[in-house]
Amino acid sequence: MIADAPIAVAEAAPGGVLTKIDAFISAARSSAADGLTWAEFGELLVALLHLAVAAIDAVTSMTGEEKKAAVLDGVGRLFDAVADRCVPLVLWPLWGLCRGPVRLLVLALASGAVEQILPLVRLA
């Protein structure tokens, strides 16, 4: 699975939540260097959400909204780092028009997913 390497790198990264998110995104960018399908992007997205929610849930110095904003910031950075690799070259002119709305859609879906992943992380 494409998310295995980024997960391993992020879990091994010393430091806090933001460091783990940065490590995940860097490893994901390397994994996507030769191209990416939308299904693989979805796999990376879900893996990042699970990793970030699990890590940030233990942080007590942030409010719930701040935690969610930090996770969604990571999702936005992942999209910016690898989503372009999902688009064939012939569709780049169309992608230029659609990129912004697709990014907003991914962030909206991730926002709802955070609410669903949090109880699962707390049960584990």
The tens place of each residue's pLDDT in the chain, 124 residues long, gives: 888 999 899 988 888 888 999 999 999 999 998 889 999 999 999 999 999 998 888 887 888 888 899 999 999 999 999 999 999 999 999 999 999 999 999 999 999 999 888 888 877 6
Residue 43 CB coordination number (10 Å): 18
| Angle 33-36-40 from CA coordinates, rounded to 5° | 125
